């Protein structure tokens, strides 16, 4: 299901050039906006955030550069929406997982899997998710907050599993970041024409990441630090 643009806790409520007009035109306007967002997402994906120009986004959306500003106040706002949508999806996923009654390991796998899908499936401009610093100060704060909420939720899952003894004890915070790093990184190397499907990747990856949490006692021998004697 494609969620409506101005739903939930969207960070910016008043924007663009929308007067309260006929419901008919508002619908059309909203739809056009979504199209533009998808076009922008596509450009972000293939060009990278920085290299994606407004002119190219406009072109991709079959719009004149000037007209683009009729729908969005600027590049920042487009980016904001892309990131917000992605985070919204991820938050929904973690919420859904927590609500289920399966073991924590299973929940975590579900979350990681959803995260991967979020990053790689066509629809979204999830590449933008990786570059939070691109947003100007004022817009950044709400996105950061939302991202932190997501990370906190995942970390809570990890911690819960540790507490229950389902996972080995450890630094939940660190492990969470490791997991998120691994899944976020997929956007960097995934190519649609690759050998593995998104679903396969999601499955294998979440399997691996959760496996590392296993409660089995770590049988690490004395660490030979000498091996990595590369640094000065």
Binding residues (CB under 7 A) for DNA: these are 17, 19, 21-22, 24-25, 28-29, 32, 51-55, 63-67, 69-70, 73-76
For 58, the token pair is: 């406009």
Q: What is the dihedral of CA 111, 112, 117, 120, to 10 degrees?
A: 150
Which whole-number Å values give the CA distances from 162 to 1, 69, 172, 217, in the listed order? Answer: 34, 50, 8, 13
95: Cα separation from own chain's centroid = 15
CB nearer to a copy of itself: pick between 66 and 229 = 229
CB nearer to a copy of itself: pick between 17 and 204 = 204
- The item of a copy of itself, DNA, none sharing an interface with residue 22, based on CB under 5 to 8 Å by kind, is DNA
Show the DSSP H helices in the chain as ranges: 23-47, 54-60, 65-71, 75-99, 104-120, 137-163, 172-189, 198-211
Cβ at position 209, least distance to a copy of itself in Å: 7
- Distance between CA 184 and CA 186 in Å, rounded? 5
CB nearer to a copy of itself: pick between 70 and 203 = 203
Cβ at position 75, least distance to a copy of itself in Å: 13
Cβ at position 231, least distance to DNA in Å: 29
Rg of the chain (C-alpha set): 21
- The item of DNA, a copy of itself, none sharing an interface with residue 100, based on CB under 5 to 8 Å by kind, is a copy of itself
Q: Hunting for tokens 């008043």 — which residue is that?
A: 14
For 54, the token pair is: 């407004």
CB nearer to a copy of itself: pick between 63 and 79 = 79
22: Cα separation from own chain's centroid = 34
Residues that bind a copy of itself (CB under 8 A): 1-2, 48, 50-51, 89, 92-93, 96-97, 100, 102, 106-107, 109-111, 113-114, 117-118, 121, 123, 133-134, 170-171, 174-175, 177-186, 188-189, 196, 201, 203-205, 207-209, 211-214, 216, 218, 220-221, 223-224, 227-232
């Amino acid at each position: 299901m494609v969620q409506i643009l101005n739903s939930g806790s969207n960070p910016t409520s008043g924007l663009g050039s929308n007067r309260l007009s006929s419901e008919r035109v508002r619908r059309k306007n909203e739809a056009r906006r979504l199209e533009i967002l998808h076009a922008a997402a596509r450009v972000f994906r293939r060009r990278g955030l920085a290299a994606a120009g407004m002119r190219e986004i406009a072109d991709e959306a079959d719009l004149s550069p000037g007209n683009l500003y009729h729908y969005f106040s600027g590049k920042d706002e487009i980016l904001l929406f892309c990131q917000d949508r992605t985070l919204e999806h991820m938050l929904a996923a973690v919420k859904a997982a927590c609500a289920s009654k399966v073991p924590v390991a299973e929940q975590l796998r579900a979350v990681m899997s959803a995260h991967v899908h979020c990053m790689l499936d066509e629809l979204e401009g999830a590449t933008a998710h990786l570059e939070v610093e691109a947003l100007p100060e004022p817009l950044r704060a709400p996105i950061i907050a939302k991202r932190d909420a997501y990370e906190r939720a995942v970390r809570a899952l990890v911690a819960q599993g540790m507490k229950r003894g389902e996972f080995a004890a450890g630094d939940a915070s660190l492990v969470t970041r490791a997991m998120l790093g691994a899944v976020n990184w997929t956007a960097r190397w995934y190519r649609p024409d690759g050998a593995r499907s998104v679903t396969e990747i999601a499955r294998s990856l979440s399997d691996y990441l959760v496996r590392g949490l296993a409660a089995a006692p770590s049988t690490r021998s004395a660490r030979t630090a000498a091996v990595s004697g590369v640094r000065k």
